[in-house]
Amino acid sequence: MAILVTGGAGYIGSHTVIELLNQGEEVIVIDNLKTGHKQAVAGGAFYEGNLRDTSFLERVFRENGIEAVIHFAASSLVGESVQQPLPYYENNLMASHNLVSTMLEHNVKKIVFSSTAATYGEPKQIPILEEDSTNPTSPYGETKLAMEKMFRWCDQAYGLKSVSLRYFNAAGAHPDGMIGEDHNPESHLIPIILQVALGQREAIGVFGDDYPTEDGTCIRDYIHVMDLANAHWLALKSLRENGASNVFNLGNGKGFSVKEVIETARNVTGHSIPEKISPRRAGDPALLIASSEKAQTALGWKPKYNDLRTIIETAWNWHKENPDGFLGKK
């Protein structure tokens, strides 16, 4: 029986495919390649298509014995979602509705879901616990939360078992440098900083320096993409072993400001990396730091790359060797 990975050509999806293959799993990847890269998929069967296309989904489920789904495919930019909410409802909520309908038709009742810290919105306390209130400040967070809730109701009604993994800030690249982060256009902090180091951009724009934090810039909890990948495998195992639906935060439990990330990248790369203060980005909370104790206790998850310098080093290794991302890759 295979594990279906939707969005398996994307950043976190492709790293998870490697983890699953290393664990000896049979993998099937679906990706529409709108933001994903075929070259990032290290193995398994590949289907190009869209989750909103029900006949396509039906074919994938008909042609394969699927045991469980790991669901990454989604639109995932906070700022963009505030400017353009409707595609988020379509690509996230409607697509997941189709996926779950098809799963249930084929009696597939295990799903590991790529959720996000953006489900919390502006937190009331730090570190954030899973039972804290969820008040998303963007359509991205709102649609991810709605999907989590849809899975929960589907558990009650149909016995669909889900593990939702609320990631904080995914960062870094595979330590072998085989794959890494490549968005076009790039909007994430660490890759943009590294593009400045590579001379591809003049400066890093710091989105707001008037937040209520020590240096005025937003604080985030950066977590290595391979640690996230490993958590998906552990979540799948937990569904196989005890079959209980659950929600887990995934972060390192340490916060770094935008300015601290830039400074660490200067040390790692040896480049000066000029910065310029820019306006705040819509939908950004000031401070997001996870408590991942629940995942550590219940799943036995333990982040390996738990310092920012190592995370940035793996990212730098990828960007330096692949300055044009997958485009320039042989």
Site stretch for ligand UDP (CB under 6 A), options 25-33, 202-210, 291-299, 304-312: 202-210
Name 48's bridge partners: 31
Choosing from 12, 20, 218, 228, the residue that interacts with ligand UDP (CB under 6 A) is 218
Q: How far apart are CA 249 and CA 127, in angstroms?
A: 10
| Residue (49 or 216) nearer to ligand UDP, CB | 216
Using CB atoms, what's the residue nearest to ligand UDP?
218
Q: How far is the CB of 102 from ligand UDP (least distance, A)?
A: 29
How many chain residues touch ligand UDP (CB under 6 A)?
A: 15
Choosing from 205, 213, 293, 298, the residue that interacts with ligand UDP (CB under 6 A) is 205
Candidates 88, 140, 222, 305; catalytic one:
140
Q: How far is the CB of 257 from ligand UDP (least distance, A)?
A: 9
Q: How far is the CB of 169 from ligand UDP (least distance, A)?
A: 5
φ/ψ (deg, to 5) at 303: -60, 135
| Residue (51 or 189) nearer to ligand UDP, CB | 189
Q: Does 216 bind ligand UDP (CB under 6 A)?
A: no
Q: Does 97 bind ligand UDP (CB under 6 A)?
A: no
Choosing from 69, 78, 165, 312, the residue that interacts with ligand UDP (CB under 6 A) is 78
Q: How far is the CB of 315 from ligand UDP (least distance, A)?
A: 11
Work out the number of other CB atoms within 10 angstroms of the CB of residue 219: 22
| Residue (37 or 220) nearer to ligand UDP, CB | 220
| Residue (146 or 204) nearer to ligand UDP, CB | 204
| 8 Å CB contact between 29 and 41 | yes
Q: How far apart are CA 28 and CA 240, in angstroms?
A: 18
Q: Does 154 bind ligand UDP (CB under 6 A)?
A: no
3-class secondary structure per residue, the chain: CEEEEECCCCHHHHHHHHHHHHCCCEEEEEECCCCCCHHHCCCCEEEECCCCCHHHHHHHHHHCCEEEEEECCCCCCHHHHHHCHHHHHHHHHHHHHHHHHHHHHCCCCEEEEEEEHHHCECCCCCCECCCCCCECCCHHHHHHHHHHHHHHHHHHHHCCEEEEEEECEEECCCCCCCCCCCCCCCCCHHHHHHHHHCCCCCCEEEECCCCCCCCCCCEECEEEHHHHHHHHHHHHHHHHHCCCCEEEEECCCCCEEHHHHHHHHHHHHCCCCCEEEECCCCCCCCECCECCHHHHHHHCCCCCCCCHHHHHHHHHHHHHHCCCCCCCCC
Mode of pairing for the β-strands spanning 110-116 and 66-71 = parallel
Q: Does 273 bind ligand UDP (CB under 6 A)?
A: no
| Residue (117 or 146) nearer to ligand UDP, CB | 117
Site stretch for ligand UDP (CB under 6 A), options 151-159, 200-208, 292-300, 306-314: 200-208
Site residues (CB under 6 A) for ligand UDP, limited to 287-326 = none
Our answer to whether residue 140 is catalytic in this structure is yes
List the x/- string, 174-193, binding to ligand UDP by CB under 6 A.
-------------xxx--x-
Q: How far is the CB of 278 from ligand UDP (least distance, A)?
A: 7
One-letter amino acid for residue 64 of the chain = N
Choosing from 52, 201, 254, 281, the residue that interacts with ligand UDP (CB under 6 A) is 281
Query: What are the residue numbers of the active site?
Result: 140
What is the binding site for ligand UDP (CB under 6 A)?
Answer: 78, 169, 187-189, 192, 204-207, 218, 220, 258, 281, 284
